[in-house]
Amino acid sequence: MLEKDRISYFYDGDVGNVYFGPNHPMKPHRLCMTHHLVLSYGLHKKMEIYRPHKAYPIELAQFHSADYVEFLHRITPDTQHLYASELTRYNLGEDCPVFDNLFEFCQIYTGGTLDAARRLNHKTCDIAINWAGGLHHAKKCEASGFCYINDLVLGILELLKYHARVLYIDIDVHHGDGVEEAFYFTDRVMTVSFHKYGDLFFPGTGDIKIIAKVIETYLPGAIVLQCGADSLARDRLGCFNLSIEGHAECVKFVKKFNIPLLVTGGGGYTKENVARCWAVETGVLLDTELPNEIPNNEYIEYFAPDYTLKVPNLNMDNLNSKTYLSSIKVQVMESLRSIQHAPGVQMQEVPPDFYIPDFDEDELDPDERVDQHTQDKQIHRDDEYYEGDNDNDHDDGAR
C-alpha cells in the first residue's frame, strides 16, 4: 500500500485583510474564502497547518534590489505624494497601488512560499501549499501586474540550495514573465508557462521560444506549480474557458510524478470561483474528492444561489484548433531535443537556510520590538482554524 503524501499548508488570516483600493480587481479576501472552504470540507484534518513567518527584508533582497525593498518598506498611502519619481521608477501606481500594510502583505505571502520551500528541502513534507503566493510578475527592481515581491523566484532560489534543477510550471492566464526573466540565463531552472499570448494581452511576452516530456528530459529535483485561477471561465480579467475540473486536472497530473511539489496561487479575479478552485485543488493534492454541495461556512453567501463547487463553462468556441495545438507541440518537442539532458551543477558552498538579521533591541522602537504577528505565531486563533485541540500541534506554526 502506497504511503500518503505528507502535506504542509501555509495560511495567515492577515494576508486576506488588505485592500488594494476601489475597483481594483485584486481581492486578497479570496484567500480567506479559500481557507474557510478548506476548513468546512475538513481538509485541514489531513494536513499540517502552519502560520508562515513574515519574510525579513534581507530575505526579499536575495532577489530584489535592496533599494526597492527598502522603498516598499517605507512607502505608505499618506506619504506617497512625496515620492513621485520613486513611484515611477518602481512602477507603483494604478495597477500596483500603495495601500495600508502593503509591505506586511508582501512579507506574509512571501514567508509562506519560503517556509514551504524549506520544509520540502528538509523532507518534512512531500507537497507544500501556499495559496497566498504565486505573484509571478514582480521584477528585480519594480512591481508589475498587481505583484510587488516575486515569492516564486525567492522560493525557487531556496529550493536550488538543495536541488540541482527546479521545474516551474505556470497555469495562470498570464505569462509568468517575472519568473522566466529571473532565471533566463541559468539551466538550473526550467520555466513552462501556459497562458494567453497575443491581442496585446498583458504582459505581452511568452511566445513559443508538454509537461511529461519536459520532466523526462530535465529530471527536476523539485517542481513549483503556480495555479493562477484567472484561466477559469467567468474570470473578471481572464478570457479562457477552463472548468474547475480542467484546471484541477493539471494539478492532478503534476502530482502523479511524485516529485517534491510546491503549489501556490496566483491570479484570479472572480473571487468565489478562485476559492472554489483552490479548495478543489487542495482536495486533489490530498487525494480527496469534495462533495459538490458546499458546507456551511463563514462565507457561504458568496456561493449563492447554487452553493455548489462546480461552475458551468461559458458557451464559447475553442479557437485553439487541433492543427494549431499540434504545431505548438512540435515546436516544444524540437526545443526540448536541443537542450542539454538533465544539466549538472558544480559543487559549491550552500548558503544558509534562514537569514535572520542581527538587531540591537535597545535601538528598536518599543512598539516594534515584538509585533503582534510574532507574539501569536504559535497561538491558535478561533477565526482561522477549527479543532484547535487536535493532537498534531507543531513548534513552528499554529494548527
Helix, strand, coil percentages in the chain from 3-state DSSP, rounded to 5: 35, 10, 55
The number of beta carbons lying within 10 Å of the beta carbon of residue 217 is 17
Say if 373 falls within a structural domain: no
CATH number at residue 189: 3.40.800.20
How many domains, in total, are found in the chain?
Answer: 1
Catalytic residues: 137
| Alpha helices, H only, the chain | 29-40, 57-60, 66-74, 84-89, 102-121, 151-159, 177-182, 211-218, 244-255, 271-285, 322-338, 372-375
Write out the chain's pLDDT in tens, 399 residues: 456 899 999 999 999 999 999 999 999 999 999 999 999 999 999 999 999 999 999 999 999 999 999 999 999 999 999 999 999 999 999 999 999 999 999 999 999 999 999 999 999 999 999 999 999 999 999 999 999 999 999 999 999 999 999 999 999 888 889 999 999 999 999 998 874 444 443 445 544 448 888 898 899 999 999 999 988 988 788 767 889 998 999 999 999 999 999 999 999 999 999 999 999 999 999 999 999 999 999 999 999 999 999 887 777 777 778 888 788 788 878 877 777 777 877 666 777 776 555 555 455 554 444 444 544 444 444 555 544 334 343 444 443
The C-alpha R_g of the chain, in whole angstroms, comes to 21
Long-range CB contact pairs, 241-248, < 8 A, 24+: 241/313, 241/314, 241/316, 241/318, 242/313, 243/310, 243/311, 243/313, 244/273, 244/276, 244/277, 244/280, 244/309, 244/310, 244/311, 245/280, 245/310, 247/171, 247/277, 247/281, 248/277, 248/280, 248/281, 248/284
Query: What is the rounded CA–CA span in Å between residue 236 and residue 17?
Result: 21
Q: State the Cα–Cα distance between residues 254 and 153, nearest whole angstrom.
A: 20
- Known binding residue 145? Answer is yes
Strand partners, 293: 308
206 is in an annotated binding site: no
DSSP 172-223: SSS--HHHHHHTTT-SSEEEEE----STT-TT-------HHHHHHHH--SEE
CA distances from residue 361 to 69, 201, 364, 368 in whole angstroms, order as listed: 22, 49, 5, 10
Are 398 and 385 within 8 A, CB to CB? yes
Cell numbers given for 61: 533582497
Taking the C-alpha atoms of residue 379 and residue 369, their distance in angstroms, rounded to an integer, is: 18
CA 92 – CA 143 distance, rounded (Å): 6
Task: Write the CA distances from 284 to 104, 168, 245, 248, 290, integer angstroms.
Answer: 30, 19, 10, 7, 9
Q: Tell me which long-range contacts 306-309 makes (C-beta under 8 A, separation of at least 24).
A: 309/244, 309/276, 309/279, 309/280
**Residue partners of 9: CB distance under 8 A and separation at least 6:** 38, 44, 47, 48, 49, 50, 128, 129, 282
Location of C-alpha cell 503566493: 133
Cα three-residue angle 210-232-306, rounded to 5 degrees: 140
Is 172 annotated for ligand binding?
Answer: yes
Whether residue 174 is annotated as binding a ligand: the answer is: yes
Identify the pLDDT of residue 201: 39
Within-domain flag for 383:
no
Please indicate, yes or no, if residue 2 is contained in any of the structural domains: no
C-alpha distance from residue 161 to each of 134, 188, 272 (Å): 20, 11, 37
Name the grid cell of 65: 534590489
CA 9 to chain centre: 12
361 lies in some domain? no
Place of cell 527536476: 220
- Is 269 within any annotated ligand binding site? yes
Helix, strand, or coil here: 390? Answer: coil
Question: Does residue 63 form part of some domain?
Answer: yes
> Is 95 annotated among the ligand-binding residues?
yes
Tell me if 366 is assigned to some domain. Answer: no
Q: Which residues, listed in sequence order, are joined to residue 168 by a DSSP beta bridge?
A: 191, 224
Closest among 202, 172, 187 to 95, alpha carbons compared: 202
Separation of alpha carbons 374 and 154, rounded Å: 22
Whether 371 maps to a domain, the answer reads no
Q: Kindly report the length of the chain.
A: 399
Q: Is 351 within a domain?
A: no
The pair phi, psi for residue 127, each rounded to 5°, is -135, 135
What residue numbers bound the domain in which 220 lies? 7-338
